[in-house]
Structure 1
């Protein structure tokens, strides 16, 4: 039966904008660029999927006739975004055409039948537990930046490892990411985690982690669970389903056990971050290499660019260890410090060839590890 309904622009725009990062992914199936509309009982259910991530949203509407059809997601989003009317009318016509009326404007948009649209993944609602959304956001914000990009050809690192752990009598979630050159670990306690059951760990693909962050950002609480190789997030009117990756995350526990925080320097975070940004102006675009020298209570940062010149910056630190000289990717430090909380950070380095362990007393859940780089002779500063 052809559908016919009115819907508020704001409600429609909120729903369809959330679908854009899912439905606009280039794929082999044309229908995946569409969003499925299921019109019934004074509500419209919007569903988008790329077969890895699926999002379903329930939006209130004034329904005259029910029905089901898929509509191009991007074009619908653009149309609604530019509309000047507070209410938008949808009416399905012959041969899957939809007439959309918004104030004085009228549009005709070609739809596609819903039979070819993938079925929404089923899940067990009983397996979901309530959790504070800001806990999930914190886990993601502190680790998302170090997930390996797909092009880096490290399949098991293009995901975030999520674990449930018992620490000092408390239940915490731990998220771990790495691109092979750095490692980010974030532990976060949250109420309600005791009932969450998904085994030792799960691997959430990068795009799934990004959609989790968007899903949670305006919620106080949500429900989370793992069911049949899927991670599910549920709010009052929306459901996000993410297909989990198979495989094993690299054994990072051995790295943690081999590192020592004894030979550490205390650095003002803001001063360090600003210095890194200045020095990064003169690094090579690919590796962002800087020289990192600790001499007494001084940290000297230098960089060199073959086309533009070189830079040197010096900041005061609290340090009583032996002199150090090593190379690091400047961007890795900048990204870690940008999410780390606290006024002062600890940078622990055992030797000129060891990784740097980054932490803060004011952000006890976070731990960052940056691997060193081999550098040529130091740049010349006039």
Structure 2
């Protein structure tokens, strides 16, 4: 086998398989990327036995064939290669040569016949939505940080996709939680959309660990297609496909954790608020994670007191329509919610130290983030 391919195209494909090929499994070959060359295309495949990726990319194929290469090393090699075309060919005994002009690498692969096959899902019904919108939904519900690898509860290891109907228009809802916070975003286009195809189910749970790969595939405009059949889901965009197992189990009623009686709120400029939270975070640590919000009708005071590191406090003027109180929150949760928001002004719905707060913004319609307070 031998082919030549643009570095930029090659690196784009390898980047998208990195997260999958890099996961540990009981089969060493899953750390490799399967590359097949045929016609004027190469096909790259990666799998961790639960999630699979397949992408087709244009190349000049001089000799057809199939190889497997360690995914991480291939990424590191191609990333540092000079710009231009890269040549790849197989050698004897599973070795692979990657070269161009005076740059040359030889790395050992494995028998491509041992590479696991991706599931075949025939006749799956797909529905389309704008890929930029889908990517925005993923970014706003990305709450996977800090999750234990031993966690098995469906609502903590998965992101819930649900069919919704608002104002007689079909839409899609995405919900994610880690037990301390919840993010929810709806997509209901003005002209309506094709009803989400979930194989007869109202909603499905996608594994959180694959959302980064789905985000990479979804970026760049155009449409993305989604489908579900039995225990599998498929995400397609142009020549790239992600296929994997759905998370089994029931997603709990997330509405129970969204307060519907919060009539008190204040509005605050996003960027100064983000800057304060970042500065307060400097003095947070594993043992002392909380910052304290002291709220009264005219001002918000944010402070941190860490006996191991020090203390700090800052104030911002606000107009709060409730009574004075103090509450403690994890600043990272606020930053994670605020960073993907487009709104310049943020509405903070909050009552007291015992109730969660809700973040919303006028330029982020149909999105909300619920954050639980910490013990004072």
TM-score (structure 1 length as normaliser)? 0.90
Q: Which residue of 2 aligns with 1:225?
A: 227
Give 3-state SS (helix, strand or coil) of 1:74's partner.
Answer: helix
Aligned length: 372
Q: Of the candidates 25, 31, 37, which is equivalent to residue 27 of structure 1?
A: 25
Distance 2:121 2:171 in 1: 24
Q: Which residue of 1 aligns with 2:351?
A: 350
- Aligned alpha-carbon RMSD (Å): 2.2
Q: Which residue of 2 aligns with 1:380?
A: none
Query: How many Å apart are 1:143 and its aligned residue?
Result: 0.9
Distance 1:284 1:229 in 2: 41
* Structure 2 counterparts to residues 148-187 of structure 1, below 5 A: 149-151=147-149, 153=151, 155-156=153-154, 157-187=156-186
Deviations 1:40-69 (A, max 9, x none): 222211111111221111122222332222
Distance 1:327 1:148 in 2: 19
Distance 1:235 1:162 in 2: 18
* Structure 2 counterparts to residues 337-376 of structure 1, below 5 A: 337-375=338-376
* Structure 2 counterparts to residues 303-382 of structure 1, below 5 A: 303-375=304-376
Q: Contact 1:147–1:160 (CA<8 Å) still a contact in 2?
A: no
Q: Contact 1:147–1:178 (CA<8 Å) still a contact in 2?
A: no
Q: Which residue of 2 aligns with 1:254?
A: 256
Q: Contact 2:124–2:229 (CA<8 Å) still a contact in 1?
A: no
| Aligned CA distance change for structure 1 residues 70 and 348 (closer, same or farther; 3 Å) | same
Give 3-state SS (helix, strand or coil) of 2:132's partner.
Answer: helix
Distance 2:298 2:232 in 1: 50
Q: Which moved more, 1:260-269 or 1:203-212?
A: 260-269
* Structure 2 counterparts to residues 1-382 of structure 1, below 5 A: 3-84=1-82, 86-124=84-122, 127-145=125-143, 149-151=147-149, 153=151, 155-156=153-154, 157-190=156-189, 193-198=193-198, 199-256=201-258, 258-375=259-376
Larger radius of gyration: 1
Q: Contact 1:223–1:235 (CA<8 Å) still a contact in 2?
A: yes
Structure 1 stretches lacking a partner, 5+ long: 376-382
Distance 2:106 2:241 in 1: 30
| Aligned CA distance change for structure 1 residues 153 and 307 (closer, same or farther; 3 Å) | same
Query: How many Å apart are 1:311 and its aligned residue?
Result: 1.6
Distance 1:231 1:17 in 2: 21
Distance 2:35 2:125 in 1: 27
Distance 2:92 2:128 in 1: 45
| Aligned CA distance change for structure 1 residues 230 and 316 (closer, same or farther; 3 Å) | same
| Aligned CA distance change for structure 1 residues 320 and 129 (closer, same or farther; 3 Å) | closer
Distance 2:91 2:280 in 1: 61
Give 3-state SS (helix, strand or coil) of 2:143's partner.
Answer: helix
Distance 2:352 2:82 in 1: 63
Query: How many Å apart are 1:326 and its aligned residue?
Result: 1.9
Q: Contact 1:150–1:158 (CA<8 Å) still a contact in 2?
A: no
Query: How many Å apart are 1:105 and its aligned residue?
Result: 3.5
Query: How many Å apart are 1:106 and its aligned residue?
Result: 3.7
Distance 2:149 2:238 in 1: 36
Distance 2:44 2:31 in 1: 13
| Aligned CA distance change for structure 1 residues 13 and 339 (closer, same or farther; 3 Å) | closer
| Aligned CA distance change for structure 1 residues 116 and 343 (closer, same or farther; 3 Å) | same
Q: Which moved more, 1:43-52 or 1:97-106?
A: 97-106
Query: How many Å apart are 1:32 and its aligned residue?
Result: 0.5
| Aligned CA distance change for structure 1 residues 220 and 286 (closer, same or farther; 3 Å) | farther
Query: How many Å apart are 1:325 and its aligned residue?
Result: 1.8
Distance 2:136 2:300 in 1: 30
Distance 1:6 1:371 in 2: 53
